[in-house]
Chain A
Amino acid sequence: MRTSRDSRWLDYFAVAVSILVIVVCLLPMVNLLARSLSDSEYLVRGEVGLWPKGLNFEAYRLVLEDTKYTWAFVWTVIITAAGTMLSLFMTAICAYPLTYDHLKGRSVIMSLILFTMYFNAGTIPMYLLLKDIGLLNHPLVLIVPYCLSVFNIILMRNYFYTIPTSLRESAEMDGANPVRILVSIYLPLSLPIIATLALFYAVGRWNTYSDALMFMNKREFYPISLLLYFLIQSVSEVETYSLEGNIPLGLSESLKAAAVMFATVPILLVYPWLQRYFIQGVTLGSIKE
């Protein structure tokens, strides 16, 4: 079938499209890397393409030396690590009981959870709530209010459903309680979905800037994306939020590129480790419902 001559062109076409996709996806990153390593003089003249010109690490040195950026980086690592662990814990303890078909009140609980996926109160009620419970401008506001996602709960529950109930039943015979069964049977068998959700939650925390923009006005608790947002967005705000000390004006272009790289690299480092799991995790979890 595949070798019949009349349809060979489709193979070539598919390969060509794939190559195009790869190039289009990688091009902006290669360009960014080249810019961050270039001398700003060449950048301003519009001479930097895919290869750095006037190779130097000055922009990276400045970003790394700036305590505001390095602290924002460390703080974002803390938010991401703590937030991801909290989210995974909450998702697991929410999804697991819901896999017991005979659990009394299960459908009521399920509807209460699902309803929040279709209807939400909006930004301002959330803002006022956070204000009233004292979370506004509190460091925890970047971790707690968005720690659970209904979609992720469904993904994990559907994954748990693929584990044969006979395993659970035999553990119950041996006198294991649900907590024990979750910890020593379900979680070890659910590595693909745990890795997938860890990636989702971690990327969500790492990338967040809008909740910090809205709910956090203490600069020392700005996550890296928000600093980056101010840095790249507007010239006037760059002056307020840019790196300390006197930076030669010409350097600002390569500096922006380096700052973007600084926030991108952690994702690019984590992604390949987890990505072998997530196709399985996502498809197994979402196809069922």
Chain B
Amino acid sequence: MNRTPSIALKTRDLRTYLSKYWTLYLMLLLPMLYFFIFKYIPMTYIQIAFKKYSIVKSPWEMPWADNHGFEYFIKAFKNRDFLLALRNTLMLNSLDLLFGFPAPIILALILNELPYHRFKRVTQTIAYMPHFLSWVIIAGMALQLLAPNTGLLNIWLKKLGAGPIPFLNDPNYWVGTYVVLGIWQSVGWNTIIYLAAMTSINPELYEAAAIDGAGRLRRIWHVTLPGIRPTIVILLILSLGHLMGSYFDRPYALRNPLVKDVSDVIAIFVYNYGIRGLQFSLTTAVGLFQSVINVMLLVLADRLAKRFGERGIL
């Protein structure tokens, strides 16, 4: 190949290229503007975490905070509410991971064994539905269903001779209810990806296993599970990356003053201290701390997955 194009030729190439494809760049203009304004400009506001916030100055002009700019990080770690929020975030997310992560895998394995195709589809359709309900709606349902004296569940428990259980009003029960409602909302939906992975397993593997005398349980263990292993690993990486993440909608909809010692996660702390309390520097520092840990966890989990011979996500 002779690769000595003159400058003139290059610019002519570029010109014909652009005359043919300029519309592609035009299309990208609006979405890139969106990302620039709503994702990248906010990143310049992160410096507020290291500066004394002033309403009349731009983030670039604000004076630096004390302790080499780390004043607000130090303040956060001396704040009881923040330490509580940090603990709650880690606790609720670990419990979600421990119980919520395996649940859809188990359900997908069971649904995959259903012998009747139509019945399987009906089950799936109904199991996906809670995923589309907002946490406000779920909280509304849960408050009614689980009310200590008038809720259906406690009415049934009373008939069985058990006392009413304060599912949402006692900190210990609240944590359990939070985890179970999370599974209720997402387990069906999360089976989709596993079921799809199962359909792509080569059926000959099952036949070979059957000829070797493997029963159905052994086939699940030796064929189906290894078949969805890459999917499990990728979703596990993503979940590990979210260990420090904190969603606002779910804990905020389910919380009440009686359980705030276990329910108030970092997102709620940021809302209370930042937007309601106007402590912008402190809460920006908290948000930055959280984002950095998240990215680190994600990278770490990805490395780990690659060490175990999986593809990873990064």
Contact = CB atoms under 8 A, between A and B. Distances in A.
Q: Give the residue among B39, B150, B257 with the most A Cβ atoms within 10 A.
A: B39
A74 interface: no
A203 B24 contact: no
Given A225-B136, A264-B137, A125 B274 contact: no
B142 A28 contact: yes
Given A21-B107, A123-B283, A225-B136, A94 B31 contact: yes
Contacts of B197: 287
A24 B216 CA distance: 27
A126 interface: yes
Contact of A14 (B23, B38, B113, B291): B113
Contact of B127 (A21, A104, A113): A21
Given A25-B188, A128-B48, A214-B271, A232 B143 contact: yes
B45 A129 contact: yes
B115 A256 contact: no
B248 interface: yes
A125 B51 CA distance: 13
Interface string B122-144: 11111111101111110111111
Given A24-B184, A148-B34, A228-B140, A123 B270 contact: yes
A10 interface: yes
B149 A46 contact: yes
A157 B175 CA distance: 39
A179 B23 contact: yes
Interface residues of A, number: 98
Interface string A8-49: 001101110110011011111101100100000001111111
B88 interface: no
A97 B25 contact: yes
B304 interface: no
Interface string B242-255: 00000011001100
A176 B141 CA distance: 53
Contacts of B184: 24-25
Given A22-B122, A46-B149, A232-B139, A125 B46 contact: yes
**Contact residues of A: prevailing secondary structure:** helix
Interface in B31-75: 31-32, 34-35, 37-43, 45-46, 48
A96 interface: yes
A275 B125 contact: yes
Interface of B: 17, 21, 23-25, 27-28, 30-32, 34-35, 37-43, 45-46, 48, 107, 110-111, 113-116, 119-120, 122-130, 132-137, 139-145, 149-152, 154-155, 184, 188, 192-193, 196-197, 200, 206-207, 210, 215-217, 241, 248-249, 252-253, 256-257, 267, 270-271, 274-275, 280, 283-284, 286-288, 290-291, 294-295, 298
21 contacts: A6-B215, A18-B119, A21-B126, A26-B126, A31-B141, A43-B150, A46-B150, A49-B155, A94-B31, A100-B21, A100-B24, A109-B28, A116-B35, A120-B39, A120-B291, A123-B274, A206-B134, A225-B136, A260-B140, A272-B125, A282-B193
